Amino acid sequence: MKVGFIGLGGIGKPMAIHIAKSGFDLTVTDLREPPLKELEQHGARIAGNAREVAAESEIVLASLPSNEASEQVPLGPDGVLAGAKSGDIYIELSTISPEVVHSIASQAAEKGVTVLDAPVSGDLKARQEGTLSIMVGGDAKALDRAMPVFKAFGDKVFHAGESGAGATVKLVNNLLAGIHVVATMEALVLGVKGGLSVQTLKEVISASSGGSPGFDILFDKITTRSPEPPPGQTANQGLHTLGKDVKLAVELAQSLSVPLSLGSSALQPFLAGFANEWADKEFWVIMEIFEQMSGVRVRPPDLTNSKEEKQ
> Which amino acids are annotated catalytic?
170
8 A C-beta contact, residue 19 and residue 153: yes
Largest CA distance in the chain: 65
Buried b (16+ CB within 10 A) or exposed e, 68-80: ebbbebbbeeebb
Tell me the torsion sign for CA atoms 277, 280, 283, 288.
Answer: negative
CA 116/CA 61 separation, integer angstroms: 9
Say if CB 54 and CB 73 are below 8 A apart: no
Helix (H) or strand (E) holding 92: strand 89-92
261 alpha-carbon distance from chain centroid: 23
Which amino acid, 241?
T
The span from the CA of 233 to the CA of 18, in Å, is 20
